[in-house]
Amino acid sequence: MLEQVRKSELDNIIKFLRMSGRLKRISRSGWVEVGVDCPESVADHTFRTAVLSMIFSDLEDLDGLKMIRMALLHDLPEAIIGDLTPSEKTGEALEREDAAMKHLLSLLPEGLRQRYLKLCLEYAERKTKEAKAVRQLEKVEMALQAREYEAAQPSLEGLERFIESADEFVTSPEIRKLFRSILDSDS
């Protein structure tokens, strides 16, 4: 099918890839706020969320490709608006995030754009098993990262809030089991 893509569409796909590549250089704001040395990038977080989604979908017999796509898309707008902490996600910020997502996806051919917009909406609405799982796995990834920072920087304070946030958000019994295992394991 790539042979059917016009030169202008390929140019836009390359723009999309370059813009999404910005996520590799954007540090996660929450980690910066608490003073983590060399905090992970948004792309680092997205990658492990996608890996978690892949493993969990296979263990629970869910649509893995859908979950991986949701995981890869979920923070894409941050390539334009930067990483926002939960307290910064106000109505206006959510509108900017939505506009950024639409802008980024506008660079893709129509069929892909519509497919990915539909997945973004599904993720945001959290009505399907896959969307609910990815949303919760994203928080599990954050808790795992917090535990890793605790081990690497024992004197650092403020990391517990990330674990508490995940604890409040994760409701699936299966994902809670994974979450509890992370808390109980040695980093």
* 93 in a structural domain: yes
What total of structural domains would you count in the chain? Answer: 1
* 1 in a structural domain: no
Q: For the domain that residue 167 is a member of, what is the CATH number?
A: 1.10.3210.10
CB-neighbour burial class of residue 63 (10 A; exposed 0-12, middle 13-18, buried 19+): middle
Does position 185 have pLDDT exceeding 90, yes or no? no
* 17-67 residue pLDDT tens: 999 999 999 999 999 999 999 999 999 999 999 999 999 999 999 999 999
- pLDDT of 98 reads 94
* 132-162 residue pLDDT tens: 999 999 999 999 999 999 999 999 999 999 9
> Domain of 133?
7-184
Q: Given pLDDT bands bounded at 50, 70 and 90, which one contains residue 187?
A: low
Does position 173 have pLDDT exceeding 70, yes or no? yes
* 2 in a structural domain: no
Spell out the SS3 assignment of the chain: CHHHCCHHHHHHHHHHHHHHHHHHHCECHHHHHHCCCCCCEHHHHHHHHHHHHHHHHHHHCCCHHHHHHHHHHCCCCHHHHCCCCHHHCCHHHHHHHHHHHHHHHCCCCHHHHHHHHHHHHHHHHCCCHHHHHHHHHHHHHHHHHHHHHHHHCCCCCCCHHHHHHHHHHCCCHHHHHHHHHHHHCCC
* 123 in a structural domain: yes
Among residues 30, 55, 56, which one has the least CA distance to residue 42?
30
* 66-120 residue pLDDT tens: 999 999 999 999 999 999 888 888 889 889 999 999 999 999 999 999 999 999 9
CA angle 117, 173, 65 (to 5 degrees): 30
In whole angstroms, give the CA distance from residue 79 to residue 100.
8
The whole-model pTM stands at 0.94
